[in-house]
Homo-oligomer: A and B are copies of this chain.
Amino acid sequence: MAAVTGETPRTRIQQENRERILKAALDMFSRTGYRGTTLDQIAAAAGMSKPNMLYYFRTKEELYRSVLQETLEDWLTPFAKLDPDGDPSAELGAYISAKLAHARINPKASRLFANEILQGAPLLEKTLKGRLKDLVEEKSKAIRAWIAAGKMVPIEPLHLIYMIWAATQHYADFETQMDALEGTEPGTREKRFENAERTLFTVLFNGLKPR
């Protein structure tokens, strides 16, 4: 099994099949979570047999961890890019846009993350209390500096961050509800994200701007 997990380069088939499996796993785990998803379901979605899939990922948990690790990196990257030396409108605007783009392009990653949190985040505790906490403290400090410079109304930075996370992720996580309310005709989702960005920019920028 060294070729599968060690330093040896992966074969063509391994690369292809791992990608297929990871994608299928994301599709499935994002809907019904770890316990509620079966290996047979993922294998079927990946277009292979269950033992074949287990040739590449030895256990269900190993597969889940791999998928979750990828989605976590996607989640953390835009947040890390928030520049404390920049202008609040520009920085927050860029972050909101990046989060909405993520919600649009990869809603299942967002839903996987939400699912893991709902389940008590057993596999994320270390990251939440480590990297994420550090990032949150760093960005909170930046927000405080913006407030002190009179560029923003006085508010709790942590809760502004929560507000942005909530407002943007909601478009991925509650997509089913939104589809039910708005219908699923062609163009509806695109229009939804245009309206989302416009609304969030209007309310948040107007709301944060001193009077």
Tell me whether A12 is interfacial, beta carbon within 8 Å. no
Are B180 and A121 touching (Cβ within 8 A)? yes
Interface size on A, residues (CB 8 A): 59
A200–B167 Cα distance when bound, in Å, is: 12
Enumerate chain A interface residues (CB-CB to B < 8 A). Answer: 30-37, 111, 114-115, 117-121, 124-125, 128-129, 132-133, 136, 153, 155-156, 158-160, 162-163, 165-167, 169-171, 173-174, 176-178, 180-182, 195-196, 198-200, 202-209, 211
| 15 new A-B contacts at CB < 8 Å, known A114-B174, A128-B181 | A31-B118, A31-B120, A33-B36, A33-B118, A34-B36, A117-B177, A156-B199, A158-B182, A159-B198, A160-B199, A165-B170, A166-B166, A203-B207, A206-B208, A207-B208
